[in-house]
Structure 1
Amino acid sequence: MSTVQTLAAAHAEVKAEIARTDTKTGLLLAFVGAVLAGSWTVAKDVHLTVPAYVVGGLGMGALVVAAGLLLRSVRPNLRGRHGFPLWATLTAEQISITLSEDRAADIAGLSRLAVAKFTGLRRAVDLTCTGGALLILAALLALGGAA
């Protein structure tokens, strides 16, 4: 495979990874929102003990922080040097020249973007698991306190 073909394949792979990460982020954001809404709906109608309130509040807080990380990871970066903002400032001829000369730099920039998105997603998954575990513990405390 020639260098041009290799660079084109690497560029496509990085862009596909960004798309996969954004898809996962969107699904997790919907899940976190549903868990937050469901937990709030249940908690407002149930008499909870103080420990259940505290643990449940920590769980809800973890989920809110996870949602914030997810939103931040899909936030458009309009100041970035690579991708759409760059192309929007160039003529068609300049785009061709830039792509032929700077494909490796574009791959590096997109790769850094992909890693940042993936890192935010990973942290949000960890917080979602922590928040879910805390909500389960709060539910157990509420059930144990009611008995």
Structure 2
Amino acid sequence: MKLPALLALASALVLSSIAGAASAQDIELGKLKISAAHARPTVPMQPAGGAYVTIENRGDNPDTLISASSPVAASTQIHTMRMEDNVMRMREVGKLELPPHARVTMKPGDGYHLMLVGLRQPLKSGERFPLTLIFENAGRTEVMVSVDEAPGR
């Protein structure tokens, strides 16, 4: 992806995703609790979108989110967004470490998110799609992601 397109995509994710909405689905996988799986609608021809979940490690041992996938995209990558030198920077991190008794809340604009690359169709408000998460120790689970508008629109 070329830099101008990547910057436009990052800006679109930040601007269209001001706040997260909770999903009614909570998944228990060993000592992990996965909740609040959601995504924002995309526009036609948008090549990528973001998905967000909250992962709580209730155990005494660390775990790691090592990959994710969804049939709505060609690939799903674990990304982080951080403000560096007054510039919002997004980068793929490959994995997400989950320390014991810690919670990671993925959210738009700052922190972690799951980048859905090569969308096969637009993500439409009111729809849901499956997202598979694979953890180093806890194994694999599937969550349903709700597509919804940012509050206040």
TM-score interval for Structure 1 and Structure 2 normalised by the shorter chain: under 0.3
Give the TM-score normalised by the residue count of structure 1: 0.24
Between Structure 1 and Structure 2, which shows a larger proportion of strand residues?
Answer: 2
Between Structure 1 and Structure 2, which shows a larger proportion of helix residues?
Answer: 1
Larger Rg: 1
> Looking at both structures, which has the greater relative contact order when contacts are Cα pairs under 8 Å and sequence separation is at least 6?
1
